[in-house]
Amino acid sequence: MSAKIIDGKAVAKSVRDDVAAGVAALEKDHGLVPGLAVVLVGEDPASQVYVRNKGIATREAGMRSIEHKLRAETSQDEVIALVRRLNGDDEVDGILVQLPLPDHIDANAVINEIDPDKDVDGLTEVNAGRLVLGKEALVPCTPQGSILLIKTVMEDMSGANAVVLGRSILVGKPLASLLLAEHCTVTTAHSRTRGVEEVCRQADILCAAVGRPEIVKGDWIKPGAVVIDIGINRVEAPEQGPNSEAKGKTRLVGDVDFDAARAVAGAITPVPGGVGPMTIACLLKNTLTAARRRRGL
Ligand SMILES: Nc1nc(=O)c2c([nH]1)NC[C@@H]1CN(c3ccc(C(=O)N[C@@H](CCC(=O)O)C(=O)O)cc3)C=[N+]21
Ligand SMILES: [Mg+2]
């Protein structure tokens, strides 16, 4: 048996098309063009690529992209002052502060300055609280995208055993809340979990978000399970010898040993082309949602 490969790029495209249609309707009916402000501090190359891609996707959806690029030495107070300015700017519907921030800045302090109704990353304490309480929230993009991908292969998650590997604030914790809201029986496993392989083998839905390349092996997976690989790990391309042209090149791998897993799973997301594209699509979705809700639409 070989698993169905879940095409995150295709699902993301359809989410983005829906967002674009919603944006067009908002402009036609109300003369509103949603705006997404992205704040980048420093010159981290990976972050620069993400921010550029977000800008392109935002404009493709018909929204305004407002990019603030600050020097790596920018003080925490200056970043907070910018966030407050964006909070007060009516043209700005969504605010995303790109993580990680430089070491001298307390990311928590900055994130919690964001107006919760513009917090399109869903990372403020207010949105995290709303999510856990089952209230209307802006939901973190990667977990939201993961749920949408599961729904493409599983009509009803009710009663399913869902295991989330990882307990980060960005992914693991909110994903566990979302799975619970879908009526799954949810287990969060992490570095202190005893017998993690056996825990994973019970999963009808296995979500891996620990940031360790290919740690989930084929024999951790229950036959027929849905496997959502949230890891994005850049590793040295191993097939390249010292004389290879590609020496020093890297490739992207997930937290799951894909080739082994696809022989056991019922459905699986690839890396790249799985959850990653959904993250950006859901960011656009949240920005449209924020633009509507802020105006009671
Ligand atoms: N405030 C904040 N919110 C974030 O959501 C956030 C962040 N900071 N900092 C960095 C991480 C990472 N992240 C990704 C988004 C899309 C892809 C993505 O589209 N990946 C492609 C491949 C991209 C590539 O080739 O590098 C894929 O998986 O197919 C990956 C990673 C959002 N993050
Ligand atoms: Mg996110």
Q: What would the pLDDT profile of 150-166 be if each residue is shown by its tens digit?
A: 999 999 999 999 999 99
Which pTM value belongs to this model? 0.96
Q: 195 alpha carbon to ligand 1 midpoint, in Å?
A: 30
Average pLDDT over residues 24-42: 98
Asked whether the ipTM of the predicted complex exceeds the cut of 0.90, the reply is yes
CATH class of the domain defined by 31-116: alpha beta
Tell me which residues are annotated as active site: 54, 98, 121
Q: 136 alpha carbon to ligand 2 midpoint, in Å?
A: 17
pLDDT tier at 111 (50, 70, 90 boundaries)?
very high
Note the pLDDT of residue 61: 98
Note the pLDDT of residue 240: 54
Q: Do the two domains 31-116 and 141-276 of this chain adopt the same fold?
A: yes
- How far is residue 253's CA from residue 238's CA, in Å, rounded to a whole number? 12
Answer whether 211 contacts ligand 1 (Cβ < 6 A): no
Q: Nearest ligand, CA of residue 281?
A: 1
How many angstroms from the chain centroid is the CA of residue 166? 14
Q: 265 alpha carbon to ligand 2 midpoint, in Å?
A: 26
Q: What would the pLDDT profile of 245-282 be if each residue is shown by its tens digit?
A: 555 788 999 999 999 999 999 999 999 999 999 999 99
Answer whether 143 contacts ligand 1 (Cβ < 6 A): no
pLDDT tier at 242 (50, 70, 90 boundaries)?
low
Q: What would the pLDDT profile of 112-128 be if each residue is shown by its tens digit?
A: 999 999 999 999 999 99
Residue whose CA is at the smallest distance from ligand 1 atom 18: 276
- Listed by start position, the domains of the chain span 31-116, 141-276
Give the chain's mean pLDDT: 96
Answer whether 165 contacts ligand 1 (Cβ < 6 A): no
Q: Is the pLDDT of residue 244 over 60?
A: no
DSSP lists the bridge partners of residue 233 as 253
Assigned CATH topology for domain 141-276: Rossmann fold (3.40.50)
Residue whose CA is at the smallest distance from ligand 1 atom 16: 276
Note the pLDDT of residue 237: 84
- How far is residue 138's CA from residue 201's CA, in Å, rounded to a whole number? 32
Amino acid identity of residue 31, one-letter, is G
